[in-house]
Amino acid sequence: MIQFVARRLLATVPLLFFVSVVVFSFVHVLPGDPAILFLGEEATPETLAQFRARLGFDRPLSTQYLEWLGRAVRGDLGRSLRTNQPVTEAILQRLPVTLELLGAALAVSLAIAIPAGIVSAVKRNSGVDLASTVFALVGFSLPNFWLGLILIYVFALLLRWLPPSGFVPLPAVADNAKSLILPALTLGTALAALVTRQLRSGMLEVLRQDYVRTAQAKGLSQGVVVGKHALKNALIAVVTVVGLQIGGLLGNTIITESLFALPGVGRLMIDAVFSRDFFIVQGVVLFLAVGYVLSNLIVDVLYSYLDPRIRLG
Amino acid sequence: MMDPASLRAIALRQFRRSWVGQVGAILVVLFLIVTVLAPLLAPYDPIATDFANVLSPPTRTHPLGTDDIGRDILSRVIHGSRVSLQAGLFTVAVALTVGLPLGLLAGFRGGRVDDLIMRGIEVILSFPTLVLALGITAVLGPKLIHALFAIGIVFVPHFARLIRAQVLTVKENDFIAAAEALGASDVRVMRLHVLPNCLAPILVQSSFSIAFAILTEAALSFLGLGTQPPTPSWGIMLAMGRGYLEQAPWLGAFPGLAIFVTVLGFNLLGDGIRDALDPRLKT
């Protein structure tokens, strides 16, 4: 196991290096001059030159990259062009909101998908199965920004049960939870649909296996057979699908945070895109990509723990 | 080995039996009809304003109501389908133009070329899709073409990986060895023997990708980074509806429904074709 983790970690290092090259290229290589985009078309050549010199854009690209990488490795992602706040500080300030939203969305999706997937497989071809299959097909195609608007309309504007937007930080637990229910549902529904579908087919596959039949023949109750023997193996499929969807979740936090005015990392990025604060955009993209690579690494390790054939193969 | 004509017949029969695929096909055909006939179907000019009729709820003259400057929502939803189709086709075209040769090359050549291409693909896959699309759009500037280009680039790895995997399977067949033994060049083998065998999975992937492209274009436009007003785009209409949610909920309801039904159609169609081609994958 340790060997497997070490091997995966080692493979991650060059990947992160190339990720850093891509992120650096965002501002420096893609067509579109950051100086013009920031200062506007009407800026004089002198102002543009001053801007480029101030940020070191007039030096060779390789020098700029190495300096940027050296600072990034130490956690220094530069400063905001608008507020002069260190980019790392801006991200870390907003990170707890994003992490809380991600955690809540994951919890909501699993709370819907695990019972739905199990019941759907155990009661195959029943009304419940049909309902959860329709949910699995529909939930994945629902645009989350539209779902969010519907939820706001029904639960905040019509019923007035929950706030339409905004975030109440901890330790105000009840208000914090209230401010996260609708965003978590908005973000988690597509994942719930995918997991339901995957868990249903995983369970159906496992329920056909000989060892499940043996367990049933031994006279074990349906609950024990499903809970202890079938579910454990079907959960591997859930880990796979959740792992594959982490990227989608991270991307969709941007929309969800923007829709519900949550002060998270995604909102920071959108605000920076509109105010043309390139270093914030660059920093957030790098931060989210590194977070994504590392979370994939964790999923791989978890997956190999659940299914030893992976690390032995 | 079965001849391709009977394989096609089996796949077609399987597809006809699947209600998922059929519903998908109907929705996609309806979407295409609306897109092609948009100027004929739309009752009004989608950008014509009517200040005497702002925020009108659905009525006989305006079946889906009007927006905050009196534009007919039905006409805008109908014309908005064109932006969505453009988004789906353009992004898949970008992804295929780059991903197809990369996948063919990686799978066919193998060795260092394969390693190099696969590492590059892994790097692009290290970015959450929407984050990469947003980053690219941010630097290039908020325009529909930039957003579509960004989404297309994000799709490249999916197509390249799929085609590579398919090539690796097809390469093992005797007919490839026979063609090579007869002196066929690499390009000829790829074009005549490998590529036709990759078309089915490409079709499935394209259907899912069009669905995802429509969603992503709408998301970027919703955030203000895709299509720019006054062009009718479902994402922009939803963003506008957000401001009048309490006062005029129909503003956001119909474009949202249009996105949902279209995306559902392409997803179901992709599911149906995939199941017909390989019933083992049916979930």
Q: Which residue has the higher pLDDT, B1 or A83?
A: A83
Between A128-142, A275-289, B133-147, B150-164, the lowest mean confidence (pLDDT) is in B133-147
* Percent of all residues in chain A with a pLDDT value above 90, rounded to a whole number: 36
∠B241-B243-B245 over CA atoms, to 5°? 65
DSSP B3: -
Mean pLDDT of A170-174: 86
Nearest CA-CA partner of A252 in A240, A235, A269: A269
Which amino acid does the sequence have at A304? S
Q: Rounded to a whole number, what is the distance in Å from the CA of A171 to chain B's nearest CA?
A: 30
Whether residue B134 lies within 8 A of chain A, CB to CB, comes out as: yes
Assess contact for A225 and A216: CB atoms under 8 A. Answer: yes
Q: Assess B141–A contact: CB distance below 8 Å, yes or no.
A: yes
Residue A18 domain-assigned?
Answer: no
Interface test with B, best of A137, A149, A278 (most B CBs within 10 A): A149
CB A312 within 8 A of CB A19: no
A267 touches chain B (CB under 8 A): no
> pLDDT confidence of B45, banded at 50, 70, 90?
very high
B281 falls in which pLDDT band (50, 70, 90)?
Answer: very low
Residue A205 lies in a domain: yes
pLDDT of residue B260: 96
| Chain A residue with the nearest C-alpha to that of B265 | A141
DSSP-derived secondary structure letter, B68: T
**And the tokens for A171?**
């330790």
pLDDT at B283: 46
Q: Which residues contact A193 (CB under 8 A, 6 or more apart)?
A: A113, A135, A136, A137, A138, A139, A140
**The predicted structure's pLDDT at residue A313:** 54
Task: Please report, as a single letter, which amino acid is at residue A293.
Answer: V
Q: Are A278 and A34 in contact (CB under 8 A)?
A: yes
Predicted local confidence at residue A154, as pLDDT:
95
> Mind listing the pLDDT tens digit for each residue in A147-166?
999 999 999 999 999 999 98
pLDDT computed for residue A111 by the predictor:
94
The answer to whether the beta carbons of residues A188 and A108 sit under 8 Å apart is yes
State the virtual CA torsion across B226, B230, B232, B236 in degrees, nearest 10. Answer: 50
Look at residues A74, A80, A66, A79 and name the one whose alpha carbon lies nearest to residue A21.
A66
Residue B20 has pLDDT above 70, yes or no: yes
User: For A63-80, how does the pLDDT look when each residue is reduced to its tens digit (9 = 90+)?
Assistant: 888 988 999 999 999 889
Number of domains in chain A: 1
pLDDT at A307: 72
Q: How much is the mean pLDDT over chain A?
A: 87
Question: Quick check: A295 pLDDT over 80?
Answer: yes
- For residue A48, being part of any structural domain is answered with no
Q: What percent of chain B has pLDDT over 70?
A: 95
CA distance B45 to B76: 8
Q: Which residues contact A128 (CB under 8 A, 6 or more apart)?
A: A119, A120
Residue A126 has a pLDDT of 87
Indicate if the pLDDT at residue B7 is higher than 70: no
- Which among A206, A158, A164, A199 is positioned nearest to A181, based on CA atoms? A164
Find the mean pLDDT for residues A93-108. 95
What local confidence, expressed as pLDDT, does residue B279 receive? 53
**Chain A contacts of B123, Cβ < 8 Å?**
15, 18-19, 22
The pLDDT assigned to B133 comes to 84
- Rounded Cα–Cα distance for residues A194 and A245 (Å): 9
Give the residue, A155 or B177, on which the prediction is more confident: A155
From B131, B249, B260, residue closest to A141, measured CB to CB:
B260
- Mean pLDDT for all residues in chain B: 87
In tens, the pLDDT along B183-236 reads 888 788 888 888 887 888 888 899 999 999 999 999 989 988 888 888 899 999
Q: Which domain covers residue A169, as residue numbers?
A: 87-312
Residue A17 within a domain: no
CA dist., res. B112 & res. A171, Å (int)? 55
Asked if B119 lies within 8 A of A18 by C-beta distance, the reply is yes
In a domain, A215, yes or no: yes
Do A141 and B129 count as a contact with CB atoms less than 8 A apart?
no
pLDDT of residue A87: 95
Task: Report whether pLDDT(A221) > 50.
Answer: yes
Q: Residue B131's closest chain A neighbor by CA?
A: A251
How buried is residue B18: exposed, middle or buried, by Cβ count under 10 Å (0-12/13-18/19+)? Answer: buried
Say whether B128 and A270 touch across the interface (CB within 8 A): no
In a domain, A259, yes or no: yes
Q: What is the CATH number of the domain that holds A293?
A: 1.10.3720.10
Does a structural domain hold residue A210?
yes
- The helix/strand/coil state of B72 is strand
Compute CA distances A148 → A174, A253, A270, A302, whole Å: 21, 12, 18, 32
pLDDT tens profile A193-207: 999 988 888 888 888
What lies within 8 Å, CB to CB, of B43 at 6+ separation is: B63, B72, B74, B75
| Res B69 pLDDT > 70 | yes
Q: Is residue A25 part of a domain?
A: no
Nearest to A149 among B138, B139, B238 (CB): B238
